[in-house]
Amino acid sequence: MDISRSALKVFLAKGGNAVVFFAGITVFARELGPTQIGIFFLFQTVLGLTTIVADFGVRGALEKRLSEGQQPGTMLATAIAVKLVTVAGAAGLILLVRPYLNGYLGGEFAIYLVIALVIQEFADLFIQAVRGELRVGETAIIEFAREAVWVTSGLAFVWAGYGVEGLIYGLILGSTTAACWAFVKLETRVGRPAELSAWSLYDYAKYYFLSSVSGQVYQWMDVAIIGLFLTYADVGAYEVAWEVTLLVLLVSKTLSITLFPQMSQWSSEAAVDRIEAVVPEAIGVALFLSIPAFVGVFVLNYEVLATVFGSEYTIAAGVLVVLMIEKVFQSVNDVLGSTLRGIDRVDLVARAVVVTIAINLVLNVALVLTVGLLGAAIATTTAAIVQTLLNGRYLSQNITLRVPYRLVAWSTVSAAAMGLVVWGVRTALPFEGIALLAICVGVGVASYLSFSAVIPSLRRQVVVPGVRVLVSFLRPPKSLSDSS
């Protein structure tokens, strides 16, 4: 697998996903208002938390075993069989607490939740199976199609007057598209389930389950607690701020997805030196983009929310800044966690997760009750920092971990200079609205790239390699066998 080409494919698709998704959320937020969009976000939250039970680490275990080449047909069949059991259990749990769940969500949504859960879980299982075949780049278009179908059909349903239910219909249609497409893409044929394969999946899944819980907890726990103690409108404003910050993780999530199967292969070949060479580069690239994003949001937080979504969402301006700090650390954690899982030390990732979930839960309850929306952001950010530090410590105990301090320092200097330029432009221009925001963002991007190109280490380690990867991607591959 060509890491650079696969990473760029995934990044371009995720960039397309982000544009489509962000455009959809913007329209949905304006059409429905913070209260109605807040109800949909709560539905997504419950769906996300329920997948913890529905997956139980099976998807990640299947990707790991397929990347190792262990009886692929049998592994796939066994994973599907196990998945049927775990999804049935999660669906039964939803139906068991249906009255309470409908009251929490503000409508009769439990049945929709079961349907969405079943389809989403198998879509994600088949997508990760394709990644396990070391064909990461080919899953990019599937992910894009899922988002595109959700947004376009969701918009059609909303404009037809279906409201929140319309967004749910679109979500289900998007997952159905992804499930069918990914299954057709699989080169591995479904064999017969085997008990030995089930135990092999379990050996990895029991730790991957805890590590995957971390992602679900970070993404949904704060929203769930806000929905419990505050209003639907608060949920809507907070989640809109969260979605804005997710754009920062495009690169780190791309690196995480792309690196995992390759790290797994190198680990099985005992090629530790290759892993040690790639990790610092990945961290440097992730921070090269997340640091200036934080600075930009620090300067333009109010303008982003007011201009793009509407003035009623500006109650989350402070939340946006704090969550952007969380994304800076999360961008590093994506690389660290993916590497630990790739070298088969998912047990250490799980250990970090146990600690940070406890911190996240306790702080969220305490700070939401005392501080409100900003308290949820502070709690989640604190937990993210702790997890990043723990994963860094654990990885350094298994390989030689070199943090690119010089690269981080120069990225920070360039970002600070960019922030001053953007602040000056925002202060000097005599108008507001979308024109001001567009000019500030454009000036920010141009100034940051200019400052970075002037600094030798950034130019040599990030800017020039990035241009080379882009050029090589645009050039046809030399061999069809290297097209993934």
Domain boundaries, the chain: 3-403
The C-alpha atoms of residue 132 and residue 60 are separated, in whole angstroms, by 9
Closest CA to 401 of 343, 459, 316: 343
Residue 481, both tokens: 């066998």
Give pLDDT, residue 217.
66
The residue count of the chain comes to 484
Give pLDDT, residue 210.
65
Contacts of 140 (CB under 8 A, 6+ apart): 9, 10, 12, 13, 14
Give pLDDT, residue 244.
86
SS3 of the chain: CCHHHHHHHHHHHHHHHHHHHHHHHHHHHHHHHHHHHHHHHHHHHHHHHHHHHHHCCHHHHHHHHHHHCCCHHHHHHHHHHHHHHHHHHHHHHHHHCHHHHHHHHCCCCHHHHHHHHHHHHHHHHHHHHHHHCCCHHHHHHHHHHHHHHHHHHHHHHHHCCCCHHHHHHHHHHHHHHHHHHHHHHCCCCCCCCCHHHHHHHHHHHHHHHHHHHHHHHHHHHHHHHHHHHCCHHHHHHHHHHHHHHHHHHHHHHHHHHHHHHHHHHHHHCCCHHHHHHHHHHHHHHHHHHHHHHHHHHHHHHHHHHHHHCCHHHHHHHHHHHHHHHHHHHHHHHHHHHHHHHHCCCHHHHHHHHHHHHHHHHHHHHHHHHHCCHHHHHHHHHHHHHHHHHHHHHHHHCCCCCCCCHHHHHHHHHHHHHHHHHHHHHHHHCCCCCHHHHHHHHHHHHHHHHHHHHHCHHHHHHHHHHHHHHHHHHHCCCCCHHHCC
Considering the entire predicted model, what is its pTM? 0.76
Helix axes 232-246, 373-396, angle to 10 degrees: 40
Per residue of the chain (484 residues), what is the pLDDT tens digit?
Answer: 445 555 555 666 666 667 777 788 888 888 888 888 889 988 988 898 888 878 777 877 777 777 767 677 787 888 888 888 888 988 999 999 888 888 888 888 889 999 999 998 889 888 878 877 766 667 778 888 888 898 889 889 988 888 888 999 999 999 999 989 888 887 777 777 777 777 777 777 776 676 666 566 666 788 889 988 888 889 889 988 988 888 777 666 666 666 656 666 666 666 677 777 778 888 888 888 889 999 999 999 888 888 888 888 889 999 999 999 999 998 888 888 878 877 778 778 878 888 888 898 899 999 999 998 999 999 999 998 999 999 999 988 888 888 888 888 888 999 999 999 999 998 888 767 888 888 998 999 899 888 888 887 777 766 655 555 444 444 544 443 333 3
The C-alpha atoms of residue 78 and residue 84 are separated, in whole angstroms, by 10
Residue 311, both tokens: 């003035």
Give pLDDT, residue 318.
92
Give pLDDT, residue 326.
92
Helix axes 110-132, 164-185, angle to 10 degrees: 30
The C-alpha atoms of residue 372 and residue 393 are separated, in whole angstroms, by 33
Give pLDDT, residue 62.
78
Q: Which amino acid is at 82?
A: V
The C-alpha atoms of residue 215 and residue 220 are separated, in whole angstroms, by 8
